[in-house]
Amino acid sequence: MEIIVQPEMTFFRLSQTFGISLDLLVKSNRFLEPDQLIPGQVVKIPGYETTTHIIQSGDTLYRIGIEYDVPLDQLLISNQVDPRELEVGQTVRIPELTEQRITDVHKSYTSDRVEDELMLLISRYPFMELQTIGESVLGKPIYELHIGTGNKLVHINGSFHANESITTNVIMAFIEDYAHAMVDQEPIRGIDMNAFFRDVRLSIVPLVNPDGVDLVNGQLPNDQEIRDQVIEINNGSTDFRTWKANIRGVDLNNQYPAGWMIEQQRKPKTPQPRNFPGYGPLTEPEALALYNLALAEQFDRVLALHTQGEVIFWGYEGFEPPEAEQIVLEYQRVSSYTPIRYVDSHAGYKDWFIQDFRRPGYTIELGKGVNPLPISQFDDIYEDMLGIFLANYYI
């Protein structure tokens, strides 16, 4: 919701009127000088939307407030009207802290729907920041969302693999639950999300592999040459439900310079629906976007969400720091997922992160079954992952 600044209006007064923390209000309006609001400027009130009321005979703002259960101060600030001079037929804005969800997490995501929902989320919750960190092979944007102002920088990503897109559902659900809890001033599992916001800064890439995820969802490329290529790679089939790679048949989580040569020697030598590590490390724009992002932002820890197995891989070649074990044991406690330190696998995103940064990195395998996991598993998976997301505040 947007309001027009009136004389003597301050962020503190707005914070008190709408029940939103001052820090959150200032962050939502980061392009304004917090101590120098000027009449006529537009201020965003996160989490609020407006309906309208047409003035009827006998209406007053006080009566309207009672009718809609809205404090009089909110009505006065939301409407540049003299309450003593209301006219029949006049339109009055009714502010409301909305409860209607934006994310539809009980059906599979496509890249278009991720984009649409992210745009709606940052419009409703402007304290979050959205940027494009790169593009897929087909030119689809890869988005990163930032939430929080803390010094601890935690990165979360999902859908490296096309047939594991339920990880995107989990991430999108958490984004909205977190944002709503902030404006509603409600904890999540006892965690004060305003304190989380102040202490932790989240970097979130909900969808690493948009082309592949769209392919799994039945959206073949418009370009006929590329369409023919993916069908050929898929052994002539147009059923891409088990496709794991990007649109060029490269496994994006086999693209990183941490033992890439080992994987190259024992994995397929040509593009495949799964497991082809490419003709070299970081040949694919999606993998390169995540690589460059980590170099630029210098994360303190990373969580790469995959499916399936209900395990957490947390080591790589002994490069993991001592605190990585303490963290993963807490992740295990809140999720019941089994920590696994070493596995005969290389060239993954968390492998490279641990090797090059010597910081905690985790590949978290959500759920159990055969990929793609059915959306019916979402609720159970989300409850497990929610504990892991929240644990990043206190450990």
Spatial contact of 374 and 280, defined as CB atoms under 8 Å apart = no
Is pLDDT of 81 > 90?
A: no
Residues 6+ apart with CB under 8 A from 391: 327, 330, 331, 334
Extract the runs of DSSP E, i.e. beta strands, from 274-367. 301-307, 311-313, 338-340, 361-366
Spatial contact of 198 and 149, defined as CB atoms under 8 Å apart = yes
Return the percentage of the chain with pLDDT > 90, whole number.
97
Is pLDDT of 153 > 90?
A: yes
Is pLDDT of 322 > 90?
A: yes
Spatial contact of 176 and 215, defined as CB atoms under 8 Å apart = no
Residues of the chain with CATH 3.10.350.10: 2-97
**Predicted confidence (pLDDT) per residue in 200-219, tens digit:** 999 999 999 999 999 999 99
pLDDT at 69: 96
pLDDT band at 248 (very low <50, low <70, confident <90, very high): very high
Taking the C-alpha atoms of residue 155 and residue 303, their distance in angstroms, rounded to an integer, is 6
Half-sphere exposure of residue 325: CA atoms within 13 angstroms, side-chain side: 6
Is pLDDT of 363 > 90?
A: yes
SS3 per-residue string spanning 150-168:
CCEEEEEEECCCHHHCHHH
Spatial contact of 285 and 136, defined as CB atoms under 8 Å apart = yes
How would CATH label the architecture of 2-97? Roll (3.10)
Catalytic, 365? Answer: yes
pLDDT band at 253 (very low <50, low <70, confident <90, very high): very high
**Predicted confidence (pLDDT) per residue in 165-197, tens digit:** 999 999 999 999 999 999 999 999 999 999 999
Is pLDDT of 365 > 90?
A: yes
Is pLDDT of 80 > 90?
A: no
Mean pLDDT of the chain: 97
Q: To which H or E segment does residue 288 belong?
A: helix 285-297
pLDDT at 211: 98
pLDDT at 285: 98
Q: Which alpha helices (H) appear in 154-284, and where do they start and end?
A: 166-184, 193-199, 210-216, 224-233, 260-266
* Marked catalytic residue, from 33, 67, 365, 383: 365
Answer yes or no: CATH 3.40.50.300 is held by domain 111-212+281-394: no
Strand 152-158 relative to strand 200-205: parallel, antiparallel, unpaired? parallel
Residues of the chain with CATH 3.40.630.10: 111-212+281-394
pLDDT band at 226 (very low <50, low <70, confident <90, very high): very high
Average pLDDT over residues 21-41: 93
pLDDT at 113: 98
Average pLDDT over residues 338-345: 97
Is pLDDT of 56 > 90?
A: yes
**Predicted confidence (pLDDT) per residue in 285-309, tens digit:** 999 999 999 999 999 999 999 999 9
Radius of gyration of the chain from its Cα atoms, rounded to whole angstroms: 24
